[in-house]
Amino acid sequence: MSYIGKFRVWRGDANGGSLEDYQVEVNEGEVVLDVIHRLQATQAPDLAVRWNCKAGKCGSCSAEINGKPRLMCMTRMSTFSEDETITVTPMRAFSVIRDLVTDVSYNYEKARMVPSFQPPKDLAPGEYRMQQVDVERSQEFRKCIECFLCQNTCHVIRDHEENKPAFSGPRFLMRIAELEMHPLDTADRRDLAQDEHGLGYCNITKCCTEVCPEGIHITDNALIPMKERVAGRRYDPVVWLGNKLFRRNRA
Amino acid sequence: MTTHETGVNAPPRARLPVPTLRADRWWLGPALTVTGLTIFVVYATFRAFQQAHYFVAEYHYLTPFYSPCVSLGCTEEASLFGRFLPDHPLIPYAAVSLPFLLLFRMTCYYYRKAYYRSFWLSPPACAVPEPHRKYTGETRFPLILQNIHRYFFYAAGIVAVINTYDAIVAFQSPSGFGLGLGNVILLVNVALLWAYTLSCHSCRHVIGGRLKHFSKHPVRYWLWTKVSLLNGRHMELAWITLGTLMLTDFYIAMVAGGVISDVRFIG
Backbone phi and psi for residue B223, each to the nearest 5 degrees, phi listed first = -65, -40
Gyration radius (Cα) of chain A, Å: 22
Percent of the residues in chain B that have a pLDDT greater than 70, as a whole number: 98
CB neighbour list of residue A116: distance below 8 Å, 6 or more residues apart = none
Which ranges constitute the DSSP H helices of B51-148? 98-106, 109-118
Backbone phi and psi for residue B55, each to the nearest 5 degrees, phi listed first = -145, 135
d(CA A91, CA A100): 8
Contact B147 A230 (CB under 8 A): yes
CB neighbour list of residue A124: distance below 8 Å, 6 or more residues apart = none
Contact B149 A155 (CB under 8 A): no
Find the closest chain B residue to A186 by CA distance. B212
Q: Does the beta carbon of B21 lie under 8 angstroms from any beta carbon of chain A?
A: yes
Which pLDDT does position B5 carry in this prediction?
Answer: 61
d(CA A138, CA A215): 14
Which pLDDT does position A248 carry in this prediction?
Answer: 61
Contact B137 A200 (CB under 8 A): yes
Backbone phi and psi for residue A102, each to the nearest 5 degrees, phi listed first = -115, 165
Amino acid making up residue B190: V
Query: B31 vs chain A: nearest CA distance in angstroms?
Result: 16
Query: B104 vs chain A: nearest CA distance in angstroms?
Result: 15
| Cis before B68 (ω within 30) | yes
Kindly list the residues from chain B whose CB atom is less than 8 angstroms away from the CB atom of residue A69.
126-127
A:B CB pairs within 8 Å: 162
Mutation test of the interface with chain B: which of A160, A197, A208, choosing the one with the most B Cβ atoms within 10 A? Answer: A160
Kindly list the residues from chain B whose CB atom is less than 8 angstroms away from the CB atom of residue A155.
122-123, 129-130, 135
* Average pLDDT across chain B, whole number: 95
Find the closest chain B residue to A104 by CA distance. B13
CB neighbour list of residue B190: distance below 8 Å, 6 or more residues apart = B64, B160, B163, B164, B166, B167
Query: A25 vs chain B: nearest CA distance in angstroms?
Result: 23
Which pLDDT does position A1 carry in this prediction?
Answer: 81
Tell me which residues of chain B, numbers 182 to 221, contact chain A at a CB-CB cutoff of 8 Å: 201-202, 204-205, 209-210, 212-215, 221
d(CA A148, CA A171): 7
d(CA A200, CA A56): 31
pLDDT band for A246, please (50, 70, 90 cuts): confident
Tens of pLDDT, residue by residue over A101-151, are: 999 999 999 999 999 999 999 999 899 999 999 989 999 999 999 999 999
Which one of B14, B210, B221 has the shortest CB-CB distance to A89?
B14
Tens of pLDDT, residue by residue over B194-236, are: 999 999 999 999 999 999 999 999 999 999 999 999 999 999 9
d(CA B50, CA B52): 5
Kindly list the residues from chain A whose CB atom is less than 8 angstroms away from the CB atom of residue B132.
159
Contact B135 A231 (CB under 8 A): no
Find the closest chain B residue to A84 by CA distance. B23
Query: B9 vs chain A: nearest CA distance in angstroms?
Result: 8
* Average pLDDT across chain A, whole number: 95
Tell me which residues of chain B, numbers 128 to 187, contact chain A at a CB-CB cutoff of 8 Å: 128-130, 132, 134-139, 143-144, 147-150
A235-245 core/surface letters (b: 16 or more CB in 10 A; e: else): bbeebeeebee
Give me the mean pLDDT over the B41-59 stretch: 96
pLDDT at A250 over 60: no
Give me the mean pLDDT over the A58-70 stretch: 97
What pairing do the DSSP bridges indicate for beta strands A85-89 and A3-13? Answer: parallel
| Cis before B12 (ω within 30) | yes
Which pLDDT does position A244 carry in this prediction?
Answer: 78
- What domains lie within chain A, and their CATH numbers? 3-102 (3.10.20.30), 104-246 (1.10.1060.10)
Percent of the residues in chain B that have a pLDDT greater than 90, as a whole number: 92
Find the closest chain B residue to A96 by CA distance. B13
Kindly list the residues from chain B whose CB atom is less than 8 angstroms away from the CB atom of residue A64.
21, 127
Domain-wise residue ranges, chain B: 28-130+139-266
DSSP string, B94-110: TTTTHHHHHHHHHT-HH
Backbone phi and psi for residue B7, each to the nearest 5 degrees, phi listed first = -95, -150
Tens of pLDDT, residue by residue over B98-147, are: 999 999 999 999 999 999 999 999 999 999 999 999 999 999 999 999 99
Which pLDDT does position B238 carry in this prediction?
Answer: 98
Identify which of A233, A238, A206 has the alpha carbon closest to the alpha carbon of residue A222.
A206
How deeply is B185 buried, as exposed, middle or buried, from its count of CB atoms within 10 A (0-12, 13-18, 19+)? Answer: buried
CB neighbour list of residue A150: distance below 8 Å, 6 or more residues apart = A169, A170, A171, A207, A208, A209, A211, A212, A218
Q: Is A182 helix (H, G, I), strand (E, B) or coil?
A: coil
Query: B220 vs chain A: nearest CA distance in angstroms?
Result: 12
